[in-house]
Amino acid sequence: EAQVTQNPRYLITVTGKKLTVTCSQNMNHEYMSWYRQDPGLGLRQIYYSMNVEVTDKGDVPEGYKVSRKEKRNFPLILESPSPNQTSLYFCASSLQGRSWETQYFGPGTRLLVL
Amino acid sequence: RKEVEQDPGPFNVPEGATVAFNCTYSNSASQSFFWYRQDCRKEPKLLMSVYSSGNEDGRFTAQLNRASQYISLLIRDSKLSDSATYLCVVSPLGGSQGNLIFGKGTKLSVKP
């Protein structure tokens, strides 16, 4: 089944404890992206990647890192999480990242930083 | 300033009603337009792309007005299963999804 998977789905952590949220897609998509969704603010892009070893900042990259060593994986790294990073995170992918393509989203990761 | 504005929700309608959502965008250079649907606590999924000539998919009709910089979504004969949040999505840069902008969404609740 073609899909985007994220792990973990739910995570409670404490301020300053490094964490990684994994994202993987099995559709051979070149483009991958991370978003966060907060009440009243909608979806905001954190980072995106047009292909392996190519990453760019989105609208809210502060406090996050990403890497794209393989086409299928695009992990999101929070080196020192803070409570304002408590949010619902979505990973997404599309074939080549062209503006008219459909984005396929993962199921989301709910993060609570205490 | 990048911005996509949607109707403030929620819309509470009875089954069978026709409901319309509007969305305005500020960047006149915007290239691609979409409506995504998001069920409660789930991921967004593409409902339909919006083409310049307008397009229809069953009970759903999407329209684009470039001169006024808005897009619309019309749902006819609403079903209970249409209850969801509808996200207006705009791609401002030619050729890339690198700067997709999502509206905050409009919540629709269809009642029996």
Strand partners, B12: B109
* A46, two tokens: 């954190």
User: Which among B99, B63, B106 has a CA at the least distance from the CA of B82?
Assistant: B106
Residues of chain A where predicted confidence (pLDDT) is lower than 70: none
Contact between B79 and B66 (Cβ < 8 Å): no
- pLDDT, tens only, B33-84: 999 999 998 999 999 999 888 899 999 999 999 999 999 999 999 999 999 9
Asked whether residue B90 carries a pLDDT value surpassing 70, the answer given is yes
A-B Cβ pairs (cutoff 8 Å, strict): 62
Instruction: Annotate A29-76 with DSSP letters as a single string.
Output: -SEEEEEEEETTTEEEEEEEEEETTEEEE-S--TT-EE--SSSSB--E
Distance separating alpha carbons of residues B19 and B21, to the nearest angstrom: 7
What is the residue-averaged pLDDT of chain B?
Answer: 91
Smallest Cβ distance to A42: which of B32, B46, B103?
A: B103
**Running DSSP on this structure, what letter comes out for residue B63?**
E
Asked whether residue B94 carries a pLDDT value surpassing 80, the answer given is no
Q: What are phi and psi of A27, to 5 degrees?
A: -105, 10
Smallest Cβ distance to B98: which of A41, A42, A97?
A: A97
Q: Which positions ≥6 away from B67 have C-beta within 8 Å?
A: none
Smallest CA–CA distance, residue A36 to chain B, in Å, is 11
Distance separating alpha carbons of residues B104 and A31, to the nearest angstrom: 23
**Tokens 């319309």, located at residue:** B20
Contact between B29 and B94 (Cβ < 8 Å): yes
Asked whether residue B2 carries a pLDDT value surpassing 60, the answer given is no
Q: How many CB atoms lie within 10 A of CB B41?
A: 9
pLDDT of residue B41: 84
User: Which among A36, A61, A51, A48 has a CA at the least distance from the CA of A111?
Assistant: A36
Asked whether residue B95 carries a pLDDT value surpassing 80, the answer given is no
